[in-house]
Amino acid sequence: MTFPTRFSYSASWLLAASLLLGSCSKDEGPVTPTPTPTPPTPTPVAPSQVAVWLTTPDKAALFYNQPTGLSFGAAANSNPTIAVDTTQTFQTMDGFGYTLTGGSAYVLSQMTAANRAALLKELFATDENNIGVSYLRVSIGASDLNASPYTYDDSASPDPTLASFSLAPDQAYLIPVLKEIVAINPSIKVLGSPWTAPVWMKQNANPSNPFVSGSLRPEYYDAYARYFVKYLQGMQALGITLDAVTLQNEPLNPYNNPSMVMTGAEQASFIKNNVGPAFKAAGLSTKIIAYDHNPDADGLAFVRTVLSDAGASAFLDGSAFHLYAGQMSALSQVHDAYPTKNVYFTEQWTQAPGNFASDLTWHANNLVVAAPRNWSRNVLEWNLANDATYGPHTPGGCTECLGALTISGNTVTRNSAYYTIGHAAKFVRPGSVRVATNTPDGLPNVAYKTPAGKRVLMVVNTGSTLRNFNIQYKGKLASASLYGGAVATYVW
């Protein structure tokens, strides 16, 4: 299917159309009729075997299902070849999506109910006309893309029994929008991440704003573990089941508002002595994922500290990463060192105001292709939506984060992250398994076999000129072409 509201006809198509129309003049005078010739019998054309979905950096095609796909059977040639080998399998995918921040929920809530319903269906429904986002991250308490910082227990004095705990701050916008999403796609996976513990649990916080920096006081480790349990149980009571949690967003970043610092040793202790036992006692199956920050040298040391601690590792599903420092290849290093633990990619921003062409190519290559090729089970962009001024955000929060959507009232602008995630989310359904491909120079790619028996190949042309290449599957070739900077998904 095409996505007509988001497709612009190519310049070549428009040129051909204009030449055709220009050949017909209104002022040529009477014309002697000629007999209409009998058209020749058309030669039957076999239907294409490979569907092609295309996005180009000049926006001539935006997630466009090309009417003429590809077919296997091309003759041997000298073009580079991407060989898809479904006999070599790697990780199973959980999904692709975004962070639904409090700010995202707020701008969505300002739409009319009908317009919001249509947009959420487009994003989260899994039928032919929608992209089927399959994974969301939410903040436990406020993130920096909320209008102001808060937690679920902002008592003026220590409250170790959590008597003041309440999800009320999220009841205005986040929870209602999330419930609408779950109604559309009940199987969507949701990951929760806190930006800070309640300020009364912290030591050495910023004296002018205790939501910023500081660390968790050891005497409140048990209370904070129970805080996670109350959050998960409270959300479940509202019909929202979280698949996983990380225990601290960016634990090595003390500058965000809100934020909290946590070392690898502290996190290992917190998991093995408090969070893991608390989840077990409460009968929670929610996955616990370590870290949630960059794969640089400090981050890899953090992950090693946590995953190599036998007591913590027993409760851990894996570790999560961002890409503001370090290299995506480090995720493979983590996988190779701890092959029984999963790897996740949970955040990457697009800097406002954005450059569609370069953002499309960079994010498709470095995130949506590279993260799965380095064992990640998911890819999440930061963030789903904000307004035209890149808000809401906390004082000191991100002022230049461009959402996948810009929402002004009922007007929606779809930015580069909408398309990069869409190219994977629509076709690589949860349960898809990554399979082997080679990577010809300048044509990074990743392939999968899906639960429905389809093969999916996503290719990025990182060069500036048109590239011709082959797709090889079971010894047969299909000839393909891809514009410089363009992204294509091939499905057969």
| 38: confidence class by pLDDT, cuts 50, 70, 90 | low
- Check: CB of residue 218 under 8 Å from CB of residue 212: no
Strands 189-194 and 202-205: unpaired
Domain of 224: which CATH number?
Answer: 3.20.20.80
Assigned domain for 304 exists: yes
State pLDDT tens for residues 414-423: 999 999 999 9
Q: Pick the catalytic residue: 122, 180, 266, 347?
A: 347
Per-residue b or e along 394-432, where b marks 16 or more CB atoms closer than 10 Å to that residue's CB: bebbbeebbbbbbbeeeebebbbbbbbbbbbbbbbbbeb
Q: Flag the least confident range among 4-13, 43-52, 296-305.
A: 4-13
pLDDT of residue 1: 41
Q: Is 400 a catalytic residue?
A: no
Instruction: Say whether pLDDT at 168 is over 60.
Output: yes
Average pLDDT over residues 332-339: 98
Assigned domain for 233 exists: yes
pLDDT of residue 39: 52
> Among the three residues 395, 412, 429, which one is the final residue of a domain in this structure?
429
Q: Which residues pair with 92 in a beta bridge?
A: 433
Closest CA to 193 of 134, 142, 252, 269: 142
Same domain as 410, residue 470: no
Assigned domain for 1 exists: no
| 491: confidence class by pLDDT, cuts 50, 70, 90 | very high
* Strand-by-strand arrangement of the 467-473 sheet: 64-65, 51-55, 487-491, 455-460, 445-449, 433-437, 81-92, 467-473, 476-482
Q: Which residues pair with 469 in a beta bridge?
A: 480
Same domain as 274, residue 154: yes
Same domain as 87, residue 100: no
Mapped onto helix, strand or coil, the DSSP state of residue 342 is strand
DSSP output for 275-294: IHHHHHHHT---EEEEEEE-
Average pLDDT over residues 347-366: 98
Q: Flag the least confident range among 1-5, 70-74, 217-221, 335-339.
A: 1-5
Total of domains in the chain: 2
- Check: CB of residue 170 under 8 Å from CB of residue 102: yes
Residue 205: which H helix or E strand, with range? strand 202-205
Same domain as 271, residue 392: yes
Assigned domain for 290 exists: yes
Average pLDDT over residues 266-289: 98
Please state the separation of Cα 169 from the chain's center in Å: 25
Alpha carbon of 240 to those of 188, 191, 192, 320: distances in Å?
Answer: 10, 11, 11, 22
Alpha carbon of 468 to those of 71, 473, 479, 481: distances in Å?
Answer: 15, 17, 7, 4
Alpha carbon of 108 to those of 176, 243, 413: distances in Å?
Answer: 10, 23, 13
**Integer distance in angstroms from the first to the last C-alpha of the chain?**
15
Percent of the chain clearing pLDDT 70 (strictly above):
90
Instruction: Say whether pLDDT at 12 is over 70.
Output: no
State pLDDT tens for residues 424-449: 999 999 999 999 999 999 999 999 99
pLDDT of residue 446: 99
Q: CA 44, 50, 56 angle in degrees (round to 5)? A: 115
* Strand-by-strand arrangement of the 411-414 sheet: 385-386, 405-408, 411-414
Assigned domain for 21 exists: no
pLDDT of residue 48: 84
Q: Tell me the pLDDT of the chain averaged across its residues.
A: 92
Amino acid (one-letter) located at 174? L
Judged on CB neighbours under 10 Å (0-12, 13-18, 19+), 19 is exposed
What is the rounded distance in angstroms from the CA atom of residue 273 to the CA atom of residue 195?
21
Same domain as 251, residue 219: yes
Q: Pick the catalytic residue: 122, 250, 266, 381?
A: 250
Q: What is the pTM of this model?
A: 0.91
Strands 487-491 and 476-482: unpaired
Q: Which residues contact 451 (CB under 8 A, 6 or more apart)?
A: 429, 431, 432
Assigned domain for 26 exists: no
Q: Which residues contact 487 (CB under 8 A, 6 or more apart)?
A: 54, 55, 360, 361, 364, 419, 420, 423, 458, 459, 460, 461
| 410: confidence class by pLDDT, cuts 50, 70, 90 | very high
Instruction: Say whether pLDDT at 91 is over 70.
Output: yes
> Among the three residues 378, 394, 429, which one is the final residue of a domain in this structure?
429
SS3 string of 163-174?
Answer: CCCCCHHHHCCH
Q: Is 28 a catalytic residue?
A: no
Domain of 476: which CATH number?
Answer: 2.60.40.1180
Residue 115: which H helix or E strand, with range? helix 113-124
Assigned domain for 17 exists: no
Dihedral in degrees, nearest 10, Cα atoms 29, 34, 40, 41: 100
pLDDT of residue 129: 86
Same domain as 446, residue 417: no
Q: Flag the least confident range among 12-16, 181-185, 378-382, 458-462.
A: 12-16
Same domain as 170, residue 77: no
Q: Flag the least confident range among 12-16, 18-22, 285-289, 307-311.
A: 18-22
| 128: confidence class by pLDDT, cuts 50, 70, 90 | confident
Token readout for 214 is 């500081």
- Check: CB of residue 402 under 8 Å from CB of residue 57: no
Number of C-beta neighbours around residue 472 at 10 A: 18
Alpha carbon of 376 to those of 91, 187, 326, 451: distances in Å?
Answer: 8, 20, 15, 18
Average pLDDT over residues 259-271: 98
Same domain as 166, residue 126: yes
Domain encompassing residue 358: 95-429
Same domain as 384, residue 241: yes
DSSP output for 45-64: -PPPSBEEEEE-TTSSSSSE
Average pLDDT over residues 462-470: 98
Average pLDDT over residues 102-106: 98
Same domain as 281, residue 248: yes
pLDDT of residue 41: 52
Assigned domain for 345 exists: yes
Token readout for 11 is 């310049």
Same domain as 311, residue 250: yes
Could you tell me which residue, 41 or 404, shows the higher pLDDT?
404
pLDDT of residue 46: 52
Same domain as 336, residue 438: no
Instruction: Say whether pLDDT at 4 is over 50.
Output: no
What is the rounded distance in angstroms from the CA atom of residue 351 to the CA atom of residue 403?
9
- The residue count of the chain comes to 492
Instruction: Say whether pLDDT at 31 is over 70.
Output: no
Instruction: Say whether pLDDT at 97 is over 60.
Output: yes
> Among the three residues 406, 429, 452, which one is the final residue of a domain in this structure?
429
